[in-house]
Amino acid sequence: MPKYLVRANYVGDGVKGLMAEGGTARMEAARASVESVGGTLEYFYYAFGEVDVYGIGEFPDDATATAWSLTINASDAVMVSIVPLMEPAVVDAAAQKTPDYRAPGS
């Protein structure tokens, strides 16, 4: 399954919910949500700064990852962004391809 980096920020009532339920309970809720669409949550870390949560997990495909993200964002309690992750072999394969391209102004 494809891997994704998930960045999440608690907003509004989401912050209140995190404070009331605690970090472990919210991690388990995230895990259950990812598993409900056939994915897995491999890593889940809280942070402070620009991003509240970093996670790495798998979703069956991009459409499923997008559906999950849209559902979470629609809650107005957590805002997530998802970054697809690639293994080094994918970059190796990409480096062997030679698309035609003309840079702007050249």
State the average pLDDT for the chain: 96
Report the share of the chain in percent with pLDDT over 90. 99
Q: What would the pLDDT profile of 71-83 be if each residue is shown by its tens digit?
A: 999 999 999 999 9
Predicted local distance difference test score (pLDDT) of residue 17: 95
Predicted local distance difference test score (pLDDT) of residue 106: 87
Side-chain half-sphere CA neighbours of 16 within 13 A: 4
Burial of 100 (0-12, 13-18, 19+ CB in 10 A): exposed
- Inter-residue contact 71 to 34 (CB < 8 Å): no
